[in-house]
Structure 1
Amino acid sequence: MTEPIARLRNVVLDCPDPRALAEFYAAVIGGTIEEDGDWVDLVSPGRVKVSFQKVEGLRPPEWPRSDVNAQQVHLDLDAGRTDEEIDAAQEKVLALGATPLDLDDDNGRRDFRVYADPVGHPFCLCKIP
């Protein structure tokens, strides 16, 4: 393995209301919210940091099109080992304001489902292998 050039600090999502989107993800993955003006950090229990910065006029990606405003970035979130656990996680994220984009229409053969957060960023609920 080669020596790394840099270390990942955090993942940053653009959004019109950083606090609101941080609260959505805090409800999904847990963690504590730290706010500094137009910048909000969500520090997850595993010390992974997701940050949110205010951007006016944000155009969300158009799933699944990559020719128009590509998805830019998305989060893969482990949500359980069974279909029942994924179903329960799905109910919870939908209740929080997520929008289904690409649910498992392969009769359970896929190990992920795709949603948009309240701002339109895609994220996946994944089955833990």
Structure 2
Amino acid sequence: MAPVARIRSVVLDCPDPRALAEFYAHVLGGTPRAEDDDWVVLEVPGGIRLAFQRAEGFVPPQWPRADQDSQQFHLDLDAGSTWAEMDAAQEKVLALGAGPLDLDDEGGKRDFRVYADPAGHPFCLCRIESA
């Protein structure tokens, strides 16, 4: 089946587009490019494009609630294949300003941990076992 369209950007609403783009640049790489005070684009190495849009009156999602005032989606980020890589990635995102939401990996039985970015959007660091 031929696609109708391709994804151009994943856009996150936030109160401060520049600050959130800088956070994700430190986490994922790339250099934020501000088109104006209300729209900043981050082209992540590998072709992914995240954009950050100012939303006045922004209210962060509430994780793990599933009602209408809660998250609409979240990002899963590959933090490596070992627990040491996962721990190192966790230390870095917390130092960059991420907030812990659910760090219980159930003694190594669960391959993800959940955080909030500085604007409150949930994201996961995932341990991806190499094939």
Q: TM-score, normalised by structure 1?
A: 0.95
Query: How far does the alpha carbon of each residue in 1:70-118 deviate from its partner, in whole angstroms, 9 at most, with x for none?
Result: 2112111101111111001000000010011111341111111110000
Q: TM-score, normalised by structure 2?
A: 0.94
Contact 2:41 2:49 in 1 (8 A): yes
Query: How far does the alpha carbon of each residue in 1:36-73 deviate from its partner, in whole angstroms, 9 at most, with x for none?
Result: 11100000111210000000111111111112512112
Matched to 1:20, the amino acid is A
The secondary structure found in structure 1 opposite 2:95 is helix
Distance 1:71 1:102 in 2: 15
State the identity %.
68
In the alignment, structure 2 segments of 5+ residues that lack a partner are none
Contact 1:15 1:58 in 2 (8 A): yes
Matched to 1:87, the amino acid is D
Aligned to 1:77: 77
Question: After TM superposition, what 4+ stretches of structure 1 lie above 3 angstroms from structure 2?
Answer: none
Alignment coverage as a number of residue pairs: 128
In the alignment, structure 1 segments of 5+ residues that lack a partner are none
- Of residues 99-108 and 76-85 in structure 1, the stretch that sits farther from structure 2 once superposed is 99-108
User: How much is the aligned-residue C-alpha RMSD, in angstroms?
Assistant: 1.0
